[in-house]
Amino acid sequence: MSPLPGAERVRSSLQLYRYLLRCCRRLPQGPVQQHYRHSIRQSFKVHADEDDPERIQQIIKRAIEDADWVMNK
């Protein structure tokens, strides 16, 4: 089960970034939401120079799985 509908349509890093930020909106307001928003931004910056399509797809798959885990926690 995906945290939000549309996870299967995420194909690019920008789509992933927007998808994860939308997931954050479903978290409780306050420090928890701020923590995950900050983490998403930092991860996006760290992987911004990634140009291997296979690696990008691995990152997208892992990020969606992690978001699913956080949302079900």
Question: What pLDDT digit, counting tens, does each position of 5-27 carry?
Answer: 778 888 898 999 999 999 999 99
Determine the Cα–Cα distance for residues 27 and 48; give it in Å rounded to an integer.
Answer: 25
- pLDDT band for position 54 (cuts 50, 70, 90): very high
Angle (CA) 15 19 24, round 5°: 150
The whole-chain average pLDDT of the chain stands at 89
Determine the Cα–Cα distance for residues 52 and 57; give it in Å rounded to an integer.
Answer: 9
What is the DSSP-derived secondary structure letter of residue 28?
Answer: P
Can you give the pTM of this predicted structure? 0.83
CB 60 within 8 A of CB 16: yes
Q: Which residues contact 63 (CB under 8 A, 6 or more apart)?
A: 16, 20, 43
